[in-house]
Amino acid sequence: GLRIGVLALQGDFREHLHAIELTGAEAVGIRRPEELDGLDGLVIPGGESTAIDKLARAFDLAEPLKERIAGGLPVYGSCAGMILLASDIADPATDLAGAPQQTFGGLDITVRRNAFGRQRESFETDLEFKGLDFSATENGVPPVHAVFIRGPWVERVGTGVEILAQVEPADPDHASHAVPLPGTARIVAVRSGHLLATSFHPEVTGEKRIHELFIRMIRGEA
Give the interface with ligand GLN as residue ranges (CB under 6 A). 46-49, 79-80, 83, 113-114, 149-151
For the bound state, the minimum distance from the C-beta of residue 174 to ligand GLN, rounded and expressed in Å, comes to: 26
203 in active site: yes
For the bound state, the minimum distance from the C-beta of residue 12 to ligand GLN, rounded and expressed in Å, comes to: 8
Tell me which of 201, 207, 211, 212 is the catalytic residue.
Answer: 201
Instruction: Say if residue 48 carries a ligand binding annotation.
Output: yes
For the bound state, the minimum distance from the C-beta of residue 74 to ligand GLN, rounded and expressed in Å, comes to: 20
Tell me which of 15, 16, 79, 207 is the catalytic residue.
Answer: 79
201 in active site: yes
Closer to ligand GLN by Cβ: residue 20 or 44: 44
Closer to ligand GLN by Cβ: residue 79 or 189: 79
Instruction: Say if residue 216 carries a ligand binding annotation.
Output: no
| DSSP assignments along the chain, one per residue | --EEEEE-SSSSHHHHHHHHHHTTSEEEEE-SGGGGTT-SEEEE-SS-HHHHHHHHHHTT-HHHHHHHHHTT--EEEETHHHHHHEEEESS--B-TTSPBP-----EEEEEETTTT-STTSEEEEEE--TT-GGG-BTTBPPPEEEEEES--EEEEE-TTPEEEEEEPPPPTT-TT-S----SS-EEEEEEETTEEEESS-GGGTT--HHHHHHHHHHHT--
Cα 37 from Cα 199, distance rounded (Å) = 27
Closer to ligand GLN by Cβ: residue 102 or 135: 102
For the bound state, the minimum distance from the C-beta of residue 179 to ligand GLN, rounded and expressed in Å, comes to: 16
Closer to ligand GLN by Cβ: residue 84 or 217: 84
Q: Which residues are annotated binding-site positions for L-glutamine?
A: 47-49, 113, 149-150
Q: Which sequence positions are flagged as catalytic?
A: 79, 201, 203
